[in-house]
A and B are shown apart, each in its own frame.
With several copies, the nearest count.
Chain A
Amino acid sequence: MSAGESPTIVIPFVSPRAGDPVITSELVADHGLSDDEYERICRIMGRTPTFTELGVFSAMWSEHCGYKNSKRLLQLLPTQAPWVIQGPGENAGVIDVGDGYALAFKIESHNHPSAVEPYQGAATGVGGILRDIFTMGARPIAVLDSLRFGDLDSARVRYLFGGVVSGVGDYGNCVGIPNIGGEVAFDRGYEGNPIVNAMCLGLMKKEDLITASASGVGNTLMVVGARTGRDGIHGATFASEELSEESEEASRPRVQVGDPFTEKLLLEASLELISSGAITGIQDMGAAGITSSASEMAGRAGNGVQIDVARVPVREPDMTPYEILLSESQERMLVVATKGHEHEVHRILEKWELEAEEIGEVTADGRFRVLENDAVIADMPALPLTEGCPTYEREGIEAEEVRQLREMDLTEHLIPNGDLTKAFLLLLASPNVASKRWIYHQYDTTVRTSTAVRPGGASGVVRIRGTKRAIAATTDCNGRFVYLNPRRGAMIAVSEAARNLVCTGAVPTAITNNLNFGNPLKQHIYYQFREAVLGMADACKAFETPVTGGNVSFYNETDGRAIYPTPVIGMVGIIEDLSNITPQSFQSKGDDIVLLGENTAEMGGAEYLYVTAGLVAGEPPRVDLARERQLQRAVLTMIQNNELRSAHDCSEGGLACALAECALGDEEAPFGVKVELDDTLPPVATLFAESQGRIVVSCAPDRTENVIKLAMDHSVPARRIGKVGRRGEAFHVTAIAGQIKIDLVTLSRAYFGALPAIMNTPASSVE
Chain B
Amino acid sequence: MNHFRMEILVKPRPGLLDPEGKAIHHALRSLGWTDIHDVRVGKAIYIDLEAEDSVTALETTEAMCRKILANPVTEDFEVSVVGDTERITA
| Residues of A bordering B, CB below 8 Å | 116-117, 119-120, 226, 229-231, 252-253, 255-259, 261-262, 315-316, 329-330, 353, 761-762, 764-766
Residues of A contacting B: mostly: loop
Q: Which residues of A contact B17 (CB under 8 A)?
A: 226, 229, 231, 256-257, 259, 315, 329-330
Give, as a whole number of angstroms, the nearest-CB distance from A262 to chain B.
Answer: 7
Given A230-B15, A231-B17, A259-B17, does the pair A762, B73 have CB atoms closer than 8 Å? no
For residue B47, CB closer than 8 A to chain A, the reply is: no
Residues B30 and A257 in contact, CB atoms below 8 Å apart: no
- In Å, the complex CA distance between A226 and B31 comes to 22
Give, as a whole number of angstroms, the nearest-CB distance from B75 to chain A.
Answer: 10
Q: Which residues of A contact B27 (CB under 8 A)?
A: 762
For residue B43, CB closer than 8 A to chain A, the reply is: no
CB closest chain-B residue, reference A117: B73
CB closest chain-B residue, reference A262: B19
Residues B22 and A259 in contact, CB atoms below 8 Å apart: yes
CB closest chain-A residue, reference B17: A257
Q: Which residues of A contact B26 (CB under 8 A)?
A: 353
CB closest chain-B residue, reference A330: B17
Residues B66 and A762 in contact, CB atoms below 8 Å apart: no
Give, as a whole number of angstroms, the nearest-CB distance from B6 to chain A.
Answer: 19
- In Å, the complex CA distance between A579 and B68 comes to 50
Residues B16 and A231 in contact, CB atoms below 8 Å apart: yes
Q: Which residues of A contact B22 (CB under 8 A)?
A: 259
Residues A762 and B71 in contact, CB atoms below 8 Å apart: no
Q: Which residues of B contact A226 (CB under 8 A)?
A: 17
CB closest chain-B residue, reference A263: B19
**Cβ contacts A to B, 27 pairs, < 8 Å:** A120-B73, A120-B74, A230-B15, A231-B16, A252-B13, A252-B73, A253-B15, A255-B73, A255-B74, A256-B17, A257-B17, A257-B18, A257-B74, A258-B19, A259-B17, A259-B22, A261-B19, A262-B19, A316-B15, A329-B17, A330-B17, A353-B26, A762-B31, A762-B68, A764-B31, A765-B72, A765-B73
- In Å, the complex CA distance between A229 and B26 comes to 18
- In Å, the complex CA distance between A385 and B86 comes to 46
For residue B39, CB closer than 8 A to chain A, the reply is: no
Listed from nearest, the 9 A-B pairs whose CB atoms lie closest are: A259-B19, A257-B17, A117-B73, A762-B27, A762-B30, A257-B16, A252-B73, A762-B31, A764-B67
Interface string of B21-64 (1 = CB under 8 A from A): 01100110011000000000000000000000000000000000
- In Å, the complex CA distance between A669 and B2 comes to 54
Partner of B67, one of A257, A262, A315, A766: A766
Q: Which residues of B contact A315 (CB under 8 A)?
A: 17
Q: Which residues of B contact A231 (CB under 8 A)?
A: 16-17
Residues A765 and B15 in contact, CB atoms below 8 Å apart: no
Give, as a whole number of angstroms, the nearest-CB distance from B25 to chain A.
Answer: 12
CB closest chain-A residue, reference B70: A765
Given A255-B73, A766-B67, does the pair A761, B30 have CB atoms closer than 8 Å? yes
Interface size on B, residues (CB 8 A): 19
Q: Which residues of B contact A761 (CB under 8 A)?
A: 30
Q: Which residues of B contact A262 (CB under 8 A)?
A: 19
Q: Which residues of B contact A258 (CB under 8 A)?
A: 19
Give, as a whole number of angstroms, the nearest-CB distance from A691 to chain B.
Answer: 42
Give, as a whole number of angstroms, the nearest-CB distance from A238 to chain B.
Answer: 14
Given A259-B17, A329-B17, A761-B30, does the pair A766, B74 have CB atoms closer than 8 Å? no
Q: Which residues of A contact B71 (CB under 8 A)?
A: 117, 119, 765
* Residue of B16, B23, B30, B66 most packed against chain A (CB within 10 A): B16
Give, as a whole number of angstroms, the nearest-CB distance from B59 to chain A.
Answer: 17
Give, as a whole number of angstroms, the nearest-CB distance from A551 to chain B.
Answer: 24
- In Å, the complex CA distance between A244 and B31 comes to 27
Q: Which residues of A contact B19 (CB under 8 A)?
A: 257-259, 261-262
CB closest chain-A residue, reference B68: A764
- In Å, the complex CA distance between A316 and B13 comes to 13
Q: Which residues of A contact B23 (CB under 8 A)?
A: 261
Give, as a whole number of angstroms, the nearest-CB distance from A304 to chain B.
Answer: 32
Q: Which residues of A contact B16 (CB under 8 A)?
A: 231, 255, 257
- In Å, the complex CA distance between A252 and B15 comes to 11
- In Å, the complex CA distance between A257 and B23 comes to 14
- In Å, the complex CA distance between A143 and B66 comes to 34
- In Å, the complex CA distance between A255 and B17 comes to 9
Known: A256-B17, A762-B30, A765-B73. 18 other contacts (CB 8 A): A116-B73, A119-B71, A229-B17, A231-B17, A252-B13, A253-B15, A257-B16, A257-B17, A257-B19, A259-B17, A315-B17, A316-B15, A353-B26, A761-B30, A762-B68, A764-B31, A765-B68, A765-B71
Give, as a whole number of angstroms, the nearest-CB distance from B8 to chain A.
Answer: 16
- In Å, the complex CA distance between A616 and B74 comes to 36
- In Å, the complex CA distance between A330 and B22 comes to 14
- In Å, the complex CA distance between A256 and B18 comes to 10
Q: Which residues of B contact A116 (CB under 8 A)?
A: 73
CB closest chain-B residue, reference A121: B73
- In Å, the complex CA distance between A116 and B71 comes to 11
- In Å, the complex CA distance between A259 and B74 comes to 14
Give, as a whole number of angstroms, the nearest-CB distance from A243 to chain B.
Answer: 14
Give, as a whole number of angstroms, the nearest-CB distance from B7 to chain A.
Answer: 22
Q: Which residues of B contact A261 (CB under 8 A)?
A: 19, 23
Give, as a whole number of angstroms, the nearest-CB distance from A120 to chain B.
Answer: 7
CB closest chain-B residue, reference A229: B17
Given A231-B16, A261-B23, does the pair A117, B66 have CB atoms closer than 8 Å? no
CB closest chain-A residue, reference B31: A762
- In Å, the complex CA distance between A226 and B26 comes to 13
Q: Which residues of B contact A229 (CB under 8 A)?
A: 15, 17
Q: Which residues of B contact A316 (CB under 8 A)?
A: 15
Give, as a whole number of angstroms, the nearest-CB distance from A382 to chain B.
Answer: 30
Q: Which residues of A contact B31 (CB under 8 A)?
A: 762, 764
- In Å, the complex CA distance between A761 and B17 comes to 22
Q: Which residues of A contact B15 (CB under 8 A)?
A: 229-230, 253, 316
- In Å, the complex CA distance between A255 and B72 comes to 12
- In Å, the complex CA distance between A766 and B71 comes to 10
Q: Which residues of A contact B13 (CB under 8 A)?
A: 252
Partner of A117, one of B18, B67, B68, B74: B74
- In Å, the complex CA distance between A762 and B68 comes to 9
CB closest chain-B residue, reference A766: B67
Give, as a whole number of angstroms, the nearest-CB distance from B90 to chain A.
Answer: 14
- In Å, the complex CA distance between A517 and B31 comes to 36
- In Å, the complex CA distance between A262 and B20 comes to 11
Give, as a whole number of angstroms, the nearest-CB distance from A61 to chain B.
Answer: 27
Give, as a whole number of angstroms, the nearest-CB distance from B42 to chain A.
Answer: 13
Q: Which residues of B contact A230 (CB under 8 A)?
A: 15
Q: Which residues of B contact A329 (CB under 8 A)?
A: 17
Q: Which residues of B contact A766 (CB under 8 A)?
A: 66-67
Give, as a whole number of angstroms, the nearest-CB distance from A35 to chain B.
Answer: 34
Give, as a whole number of angstroms, the nearest-CB distance from A632 to chain B.
Answer: 45
- In Å, the complex CA distance between A261 and B19 comes to 8
Q: Which residues of B contact A117 (CB under 8 A)?
A: 71, 73-74
Give, as a whole number of angstroms, the nearest-CB distance from A316 to chain B.
Answer: 7
Give, as a whole number of angstroms, the nearest-CB distance from A498 to chain B.
Answer: 39
- In Å, the complex CA distance between A764 and B18 comes to 22
Q: Which residues of A contact B72 (CB under 8 A)?
A: 765
Give, as a whole number of angstroms, the nearest-CB distance from B70 to chain A.
Answer: 9
CB closest chain-A residue, reference B18: A257
- In Å, the complex CA distance between A87 and B6 comes to 54
- In Å, the complex CA distance between A116 and B73 comes to 8
Q: Which residues of A contact B68 (CB under 8 A)?
A: 762, 764-765
CB closest chain-A residue, reference B12: A257
CB closest chain-A residue, reference B15: A230
- In Å, the complex CA distance between A330 and B74 comes to 16
CB closest chain-A residue, reference B22: A259
